[in-house]
Amino acid sequence: MSVYEEIARQYPESKSAILPALRHAQERYGWLSREAFEEVADALDLTPAYCMSVASFYDMFHLEPVGTHTIEVCTNVCCGLVNAQPVLEAFESELGIRAGQTTDDGEITLRAVECLGGCSTPTIVAVDHVYKQSVTPDDVAKIVEDLRG
Amino acid sequence: MADTVVEVAEGPALVLGGYDGTPLVDLDSYRAVGGYAQIAKARAMTPQEVTQQIIDSNLRGRGGAFFPTGRKASFIPTPDKVAKPIYITVNADESEPGTFKDREIMLKVPHRLLEGCLIAAHAIQSKHVFIYVRGEYGEEYRVLEHARREAEAAGLLADVTITIHRGAGAYICGEETALLESLEGKRGQPRSKPPFPAIQGLYASPTLINNVESITNMPIVLEVGPEEYAQIGAPPDSTGTRLFCLSGNVVRPGVYEAPHGITVRHLIDDIGGGIAGGRKLKAVMVGGSSFPVMTPDELDTNLDANSLGQKGLFIGSGVVCAIDDRTCIVQFALRVAQFYMHESCGKCTPCRVGTRWLVQILRAVEDGTARKQDLAICLDVCDRIIGKCLCVLGDSAAMPVASCVTKFRDEFNAHLEHGGCPFCEDSSLAHLFAPVDQHAHTPVAEAGSDGGKAAVARPEDRVASGAPWGAEP
């Protein structure tokens, strides 16, 4: 049984498996290419176009290539009230890119994101989807260094 | 990089009962504090008796709407009345800005949530529970899935299946019908109601939808008894405790369990240690970013639905975010509006277009290109959003924005007179970048925060020029 079939088995209707299936495909390929959509569509008996229309609705799906690593900085009001903007700018300057861009070597994508639900420990930065709490501009160089290994 | 403060600020310890700093993630640790005794008790009762206990406790929804949980369960038809399965979906798509309590329930007392699911399943005779966890919550998902497997292996689920489903990043999926659409494998766009989910929810079957904290209160209601539960907090309407989410410019932010009815001042000053840096308070975001803001003269209001309601405020998801006196309220309103513009699903025109207009007007006020009449236009746009859509996402932008314009009119006027923001030097929200500006196709992004101001058209300019409303991309 394929991974997709296994996911689909948890639901009364296989269409419900589309989000976890797309998540799996994205984890495997890094982003959702035409081929990834075809793979998911085939497994769930949907069309690639339908899968794309669903994926484009959700913020976590990448419809174009992204870096090997992602850094996501919460810039909603609670983090903003403390230091989100200085933290975001520190990442921009450390990486030499703007929010929404990927470094030239294809290593790191920097994004600003809406509230991540960690408002009591601002600023929240999700590094490869793992939350780092209470990040200050001083922590930025180390975070990037650790990512680059 | 400090950890989140999670503690019982004032007794009784209910949702966090038994948690003393060590998460009760393993079955044994939860059993050691009496865990899963209540599902055994519930299964010895009839489903109607369990539902009646929830009704008698007057437990109300902790997700934001504060709807009576027991009454909601009583709307679900009994299996002999419908030929379809009956479902439960737990709303763990916690995304309201300022809210971070449901994740702490999943991280600290996951088994109590699962026990609540089983009690609810017995009460409405459902065999399948879905827990919709927001996509960004990775650790929360893993902890909860571990707990689920343990409970399953121990035979505690009996004939109930619990499926933990992960979202993929969409605030709107916290709206109950959008959540159902998303769970069915579609774009998360709200449905028209009626039919209500209790009659036609998931897969057009009867569905009970409850927030994580609401469900987690169910074993507690059975444990302390509905009569006693109904006396905790601010009876008769705001019973029980709340996991208050304290954030912003306070000394000790965190998740604090306390009974309904403590004052906002007590929470900020005594529990939270007051405003950080010895500064003064300018405003409080109460309930979440979706609701009107509170001014310092309202600080002695009790945190219960009726006390807040008398002042036009809401308890929402238990958010209290303190905003200090450096902060520019126009920047605050703008950032809130940008969030809702980003998260609008696009289905209803007043919300899709209106949130965009609010951002454009507030940007113009902040940048100094607004005219005097723009504040009236802003309020008019708010008025044309509220109550005009399938769901309340648009209202959630309009209510805080309108409250900022009316409660802080002087500050807006100061922007008009000053020809821009007079507070930029000190305000922490100055030039705060919003994700909506990452999307190159939005006119706002083209205009940017500094250059190209002329590109930001005003709503009435479009009407006057005969250009299409909204001029959407």
Residues of B in contact with A139 (CB under 8 A): 1
Exposure on the CB side of residue B82, measured as CA atoms within 13 A? 19
Please give the pLDDT value at position A9.
97
Q: Where are the domains of chain B?
A: 16-230, 238-324, 329-471
Please compute the mean of the pLDDT values over residues A37-42 and round it to a whole number: 98
With 0.80 as the threshold, say if the pTM is over it. yes
Q: Which of A54, A81, A111 sits opposite B327 (nearest CB)?
A: A81
Q: How far does the CA of residue A144 sit from the closest CA of chain B (Å)?
A: 16
Model confidence pLDDT, tens digit, residues B223-281: 999 999 999 999 999 999 999 999 999 999 999 999 999 999 999 999 999 999 999 99
Q: Structurally, what CATH architecture does the domain formed by B16-230 represent? A: 3-Layer(aba) Sandwich (3.40)
Q: Where are the beta strands (DSSP E) in B249-333?
A: 254-259, 281-286, 293-294, 319-324
B248 and A78 within 8 Å at the Cβ level: the answer is yes
Name the CA radius of gyration of chain A, rounded.
17
Query: Could you read off the pLDDT of B132-175 as tens digits, one per residue?
Result: 999 999 999 999 999 999 999 999 999 999 999 999 999 999 99
Predicted confidence at residue B3, as pLDDT, reads 85
CA distance B366 to B411: 11
Predicted local distance difference test score (pLDDT) of residue B445: 38
Q: How confident is the model at residue B1 (pLDDT cuts 50, 70, 90)?
A: low
Question: Which residue has tokens 């909603």?
Answer: A76
pLDDT band at A22; cut points 50, 70, 90 = very high
Mean pLDDT to the nearest integer, B69-77: 98
| CATH T-level assignment (fold) for domain B238-324 | Ubiquitin-like (UB roll) (3.10.20)
pLDDT higher than 70, residue B314: yes
What single DSSP character describes residue B250? Answer: B
Q: Please give the CATH topology (third level) of the domain spanning B329-471.
A: de novo design (two linked rop proteins) (1.20.1440)
Q: What does the mean pLDDT of chain B come to?
A: 93
Residue A1: pLDDT band (50, 70, 90) is: confident
Residue pair B182/B132 in contact (Cβ under 8 Å)? The answer is yes
Written as six digits, the tokens of B172 are 């709107």
Residues 6 or more apart in contact with residue A21 via CB below 8 angstroms: A4, A7, A8, A40, A43, A44
Structure confidence by residue, pLDDT tens digits, B98-142? 999 999 999 999 999 999 999 999 999 999 999 999 999 999 999
Whether the pLDDT of residue A135 is over 50: the answer is yes
Which has the higher per-residue pLDDT, B296 or B448? B296
Answer yes or no: is pLDDT of B448 > 50: no
Say what the pLDDT of residue B439 is. 72
Domain A69-148: give its CATH architecture.
Answer: 3-Layer(aba) Sandwich (3.40)
pLDDT (0 to 100) of residue B440: 53
Q: Do A58 and B247 touch (CB under 8 A)?
A: no
pLDDT at B293 over 90: yes
Does the distance separating the beta carbons of A133 and B1 come in below 8 Å?
A: yes
Structural domain boundaries in chain A: 3-55, 69-148
Average pLDDT, chain A: 97
Q: What percentage of chain B carries pLDDT values higher than 70?
A: 92
- The per-residue pLDDT for range B389-447, each reduced to its tens digit, is 999 999 999 999 999 999 999 999 999 999 999 999 899 999 999 999 997 544 443 44
* Bridging pattern class, strands A125-127 and A69-74: antiparallel
Alpha carbon distance A136, A138 (integer Å): 5
Cis peptide bond N-terminal to B236, omega within 30: yes
**Are residues B44 and B158 in contact, defined by beta-carbon separation less than 8 angstroms?**
no
Q: Which of B186, B271, B433 to mutate against chain A (most A CBs within 10 Å)?
A: B433
Whether the pLDDT of residue B467 is over 90: the answer is: no
Distance set, CA A50 to CA A13, A60, B142, B173, B185 (Å):
16, 17, 29, 19, 10
Q: Do A85 and B339 touch (CB under 8 A)?
A: no
Nearest CB among B103, B170, B342 relative to A117 is that of B103
ipTM over 0.90: yes
